[in-house]
Each structure stands twice: as C-alpha cells, then as structure tokens.
A and B are shown apart, each in its own frame.
Chain A
Amino acid sequence: MIRLEKRAEPSRAWQVAAPVVAVGLTMLAGAAMFAALGKDPAAAIRTIFWDPLFSPQFAAYSRPQLLVKAAPLILIAIGLSFGFRAGIWNIGAEGQYLMGALAGGAVGLAFYPAGGAHIFPLMVLAGALGGWLWAMIPAVLKVRFATSEILVSLLLVYVAQQIVAAAAVGWLRNPEGGGFPGSRNLARYPAASNPELLPGTGVHWGVVAAALAVPLAWVLLLRHVAGFRVRLTGAAPRAARFAGVRPGAMTFACLSVSGALAGLAGLFELAGPAGQISIDFGSGYGFTAIIVAFLGRLHPFGILLAGLLMALTYIGGELAQFMLGIPKAAIQAFQGMLLFFLLGVDVLTNWRVRLRRRREAR
C-alpha cells in the first residue's frame, strides 16, 4: 500500500525537479493529445518547443517575440507571487492589466498630438496607478468587509472587459477611424509609443521593467524582512500576527504590488505590441501569469524561466497553428495541463512516498 509521510522540511531537490518533471509529463500528455487530433506528435512538440528558437526559417522572427510575450507574463507573475505566498489570492490580474492599459492609454491619448519626453513616463505612471486602483477594490472590500478577494478580483475582470469595450467604441474611439471601434494607434504616436529599443531583439520598455522586477523582487521577497513577513503570513498567519504583521496592511501591500505590476504590463503591451485599445484588448496574460507564478515556484528567478517557457508555448503554438493546423485551443489546454501536472508532482516536495504492506489493525 502506498502511503504519504509528511516531510519535516520541503525537499529542496524536488522543489527544483518538480517543474521540470511537470513540463516533461505535459509534453508527453500533449503529444498524446496532438496524436488524438490526428497530428504527428513529434512534429508538433518540435514545432512548439524547438523551431521558434532554432529553426533557421522561423527563429529570426520568433526569437524577439519570446521577450515580447514573456515580459508581461513575468511582470504580472512577479506581482502575484507576493500575494500567493501570503495566502492572498488575487486572481483578477487580467482586470488590473486591462485597467492599467486603459488608464495609461487614456493619458497618452489626452496629449495627442503633442510631443514631449514627459508623455511616456506619465503614461507609465498612470498605467501602474490604474492597475493599482483596480486591485484596491478587492483589497478594501477584503479588509473592511471580509469579502473574499478571490471572487471579487475575478468578477472585476468581467467588469473591466466591459469598460474597455465601452472605451473602444465610445470615449477613446479614434475620431479618424471611420467609425470603426478602437482607439488611435499609440505605436504610431512617437511621444506615447513603446518601441523596440534594440532592433531585432524584441526588447521594449516592458522587457526592461520585467528584467528589473526580477532581481528587485528577489531581494524584497527572499532577502528583506518585508518578504519574510509575507512568507510568514502564508505559512503561519497566527504566528505572523504575534510577530506584529497586521493582516490588513499585508492584504493592501500584496494587492498593491500585483495590481501595479499588472497595470504596468498592460500599459507596455498597449503602447507597444498591441498599439491600440480595442474591444478584445485583453489576451488572457493575466490568467496565464497564474500558471507562470506557480510553475516558477513563486520564486523570482523561477518565474523568469517559467515566463520564458510559457512565452515559448505561445509562439510555438502560433507556429504549430500555422504549420500543422493545430488549433489555438489545443495550446490553451496544453498550458492548463502544465499546472495540473505541476500540482500533482508537487506532492513529492512536501511528502515522502512510502511503500508498506497493509497491516491488521491492532
């Protein structure tokens, strides 16, 4: 009979190995899924994980895309990791991403067509502020009324989607757009655009922000007393209160970090790769970032790797869609599977598996 025995300490080896094993298992299960769809599984896996980086035909286009797609995922996931470690579940990052983009975009469009070096920094500020404000709704309701932040933050995603849609067809619509929904294209408004900084690399300001966020979060979360308090709150809320951590302040802090970073990610995406506020501006980064945060073990450097890997599945998925006719939805299911396998394999991190014969009760 198989039994689980609690480990005194989480196994460090399995902490590192679990995501790797989970990725391997997901590839196997994914290959089975592609085979069930009537596609060559080996070709599908190679197209998703190898070709975007190393194929001479596609790498030139795909490699820069890797950073473009990974940056928002990493930024959002870094923010989420604080709350998740403290047991504060902000699962509405998609909404904060949308509101950040909307606030930042609105500031940029308000200046149109003026020039000036102050416009883009102001937009960045507005983006962070927009995401932060949207995250403050569940924070205030949680602290003041003890309302579940899980449900409120998630429900606010649907509200944010409607607000963005209203903006795209209403007050932010491009007056020269011939009546079509969607705002002016910020990517074509130099003072407000977030361009590729180094040609051919995909590096834009969002990538820079993500690259800064990773080491900063590492210091804050793992080398600073603030991070210790976050982790303490998650591991032992009662002990944390005795140590002087105020739960309300912790809720505000964690939702502030995740809201502001998600808002930033939204703004950088809007002013760069996306260009304009459209009805369907939201692309699900806020939800995929949840997978990234867990796959990265809620550790900043882990999230960096997980974000790059997840970005690879996006790009490889597009390539597989184009080359092999694998539906986009298959990639979505593939990403969902990854989290399943990770959570499953993770049992080995905290528990020891013991094989033992069943004994009679005495």
Chain B
Amino acid sequence: MTDLLFGLNWPQLAAALMLASTPILLAALGELVVERAGVLNLGVEGMMILGAVAGFAAGVETGAPLWGFLAAALAGAGLALLFGVLTQLLLANQVAAGLALTLFGLGLSALVGQGYQGIKPPPLARLEVPLLSEIPVLGPVLFRHDPVVYLSLLLVLATALFLARTRAGLILRAVGEDAAAAHALGYRVVRIRLLAIAWGGALAGLGGAHLSLVRVPQWTEGMTAGAGWIALALVVFAGWRSGRLLLGAYLFGGITVLQLNLQAAGIAVPVELLSMSPYLVTILVLVIMSSGRARAALAAPADLGRPFHAAA
C-alpha cells in the first residue's frame, strides 16, 4: 500500500487535480450566485450536460474550442432561462422545475450529441505562463494549464469580490435574504433573479464544455455522471462562500483523480468501491456540514427556494 502511494507521480496528480476540479468548480460558482439570489436551481446537471454537448458540437464544427465554450455558455444560460421563466414568471415549484431541467437536459443532450460520438475535439492550447511555468515541480503543477482553468480561478476571486464588495452584489444578496424587503426598496427582484439564473446556467455550461472539450475529451451520453449534483452539494459545503468553494472543489477533484489513479495502479480494492467514493465522500461532507455546530456557521440565504410574487 505504501509502495503504491509512493509510486504515484504526485506532481502529475496535483496538476490533474486542478484539471478535474474545474468543471464542478465552474458549475458550483454559478449555482452559488443563483442561491445567493434566493433561487434553488436543481437543474445544474442538465445545464452542464447540455453545455458539454453544445460546446463539443460547436468546437468540432468550427474547429475552434473558443467558440465551443461560448456556445456552451449560451446553451447553459438558455436552458437556465427556461427554468427562470417557469419559476420566476409562472411561479412554478423550484424543486420540480429544477428536476425537469435535469431530465430534459439529459434527453436533449443525447439527441444533439447523436453524430458526435467517438470524435476527437480540436485541442485547446495550454497557456504556459512565461517564467513561472519553468519553476521546478510547482511550475508544471500550477502554470501549465488551459485558459479555462485560470478563468475558473479568476472567477472565484471575482465572485467573492462581487458579492462582498460591490453594490450590485449587495443588492443580489438582499434579494436572496428577503425578497419582499428588497422589493419594497424598489429593486426588481424577478429581473435580478433571472439574471442570476442565466449567469448560473452559463457557468454550468462552461463547466460541462470543459469536461467534454478538455478533461475527457470526447462526447458520451450522460458523461457528467452526477457532477452537477456534486456541484450543488459543494455550494452547501462551502457555506455559500466562494473561497471555501475552491477548497471543496479541489478536495473532490483530488478524490476523483486519486481513485482513478488507484484504479489504474491496480490496487486491491474493488473498482466499484473506488468509483463510488466521490459520491460517498460528498454525502459524508454534507452530513458533517449540515449537522450541529457547523450548521450555525452555514448561513444559507434566508429566502432560498421561496417563490416571490409582488402582490401589489
């Protein structure tokens, strides 16, 4: 066992960890903003998988991964807006509408992806940061990734700053904490929530595209395999704060990469047990975070999941 652990190439694992974490990190970052606005969108899985196929298809057709990512963000946002119209304008139940989004997204993505199975997407060039990438060990781990990995890190920072330091972020949080009060102050609750929902969809779509264009890279039906649900759990784990979200995403990315490598190394643990480990750990972490003293520090948005309708 110790031989096996020492035999693994740890710097390479660390680099793979960053790559593997990026899809869930992006999706969870989007959902974080949505939930801070008081909306629970359970359709992350559906938006991710639609982003995965839209990004893949656009990337293959144009030959440029950049267009793929753009298409994925648009597709994710478009699907999210469907949820937005249902829950914000037609006042449908958010849990049901989110589930509908996931079920529809899985079906639609399989339909769109018909002709794209077994194709290789155009490669996304790595962005090697000059000088920094030459540092021994740390250089290859931290500074030789594709641009989307850096984008996700930038977005962590941007989200934290937006929520804590900008006026718009304050308004968004007010809408999530007490929609009626925000409405009384003259803020457009429904419009703000729709924008947040679209943003969340765009990021989920980007995450999906990173999965199909960079991480795997190919298109297979149902390839997100619960990543969207793990992203949802991560938002709870992070206590609705983006800094902790990064930690959580890299923790889960680490577990995923480690179990895949242990599978490849032929460790004497059933493959199925390793494959289910990310889900089991997610549940375990959820339990720890939601129980007892940890719960007080969680601070979920007060109006999370509650529909809002301006009566007057």
Q: Which residues of A contact B (CB under 8 A)?
A: 4, 6, 37, 89, 91, 141, 144-148, 150-152, 154-159, 162-163, 165-166, 170, 287-288, 290-291, 294, 327-337, 339-340, 343-344, 346-347, 350-351
Q: Are A146 and B110 in contact (CB under 8 A)?
A: no
4 cross-chain pairs, A with B, having the tightest CB-CB distances, nearest first? A336-B104, A332-B107, A329-B110, A333-B107
Task: Select the residue from B103, B225, B270, B287 with max chain A CB neighbours within 10 A.
Answer: B103
- Given that A4-B91, A170-B270, A346-B92 are contacting pairs, would A152 and B283 also be in contact in the complex, using a CB cutoff of 8 Å? yes
Instruction: A330 to B111: give the CA distance in the assembly, Å.
Output: 6
Instruction: A336 to B294: give the CA distance in the assembly, Å.
Output: 37
Q: Which residues of B contact A (CB under 8 A)?
A: 42, 82, 85-86, 90-93, 95-97, 99-100, 103-111, 113-114, 221, 225-226, 229-230, 232-233, 236, 270, 272-273, 275-276, 279-280, 282-283, 286-287, 290-292, 295, 309, 311
Instruction: A147 to B237: give the CA distance in the assembly, Å.
Output: 11
Q: Are A337 and B104 in contact (CB under 8 A)?
A: yes
Question: In angstroms, how far is the closest chain B Cβ from the Cβ of A155?
Answer: 5
Instruction: A299 to B186: give the CA distance in the assembly, Å.
Output: 41
Residues of A within 8 A of B90 (CB): 343-344, 346-347
- Given that A6-B309, A350-B91 are contacting pairs, would A145 and B287 also be in contact in the complex, using a CB cutoff of 8 Å? yes
Residues of A within 8 A of B111 (CB): 37, 327, 329-330, 332-333
Given contacts A141-B286, A351-B91, 18 further A-B contacts (CB under 8 A): A4-B91, A6-B311, A37-B111, A89-B95, A141-B287, A147-B286, A151-B286, A152-B286, A155-B226, A159-B276, A166-B272, A290-B99, A331-B107, A336-B104, A339-B96, A340-B86, A340-B100, A347-B92
Residues of B within 8 A of A329 (CB): 107-111, 113-114, 221
Question: In angstroms, how far is the closest chain B Cβ from the Cβ of A137?
Answer: 8
User: Could you name 20 residue pairs across A and B whose Cβ atoms are closer than 8 Å?
Assistant: A145-B292, A147-B287, A148-B286, A151-B233, A155-B279, A155-B283, A158-B225, A158-B276, A165-B272, A288-B103, A291-B100, A329-B221, A332-B110, A333-B111, A336-B100, A336-B103, A339-B99, A339-B104, A340-B100, A343-B93
Q: Are A151 and B107 in contact (CB under 8 A)?
A: no
Q: Are B270 and A166 in contact (CB under 8 A)?
A: yes
Residues of A within 8 A of B108 (CB): 329, 333, 336
Residues of A within 8 A of B272 (CB): 162-163, 165-166
Instruction: A335 to B295: give the CA distance in the assembly, Å.
Output: 38
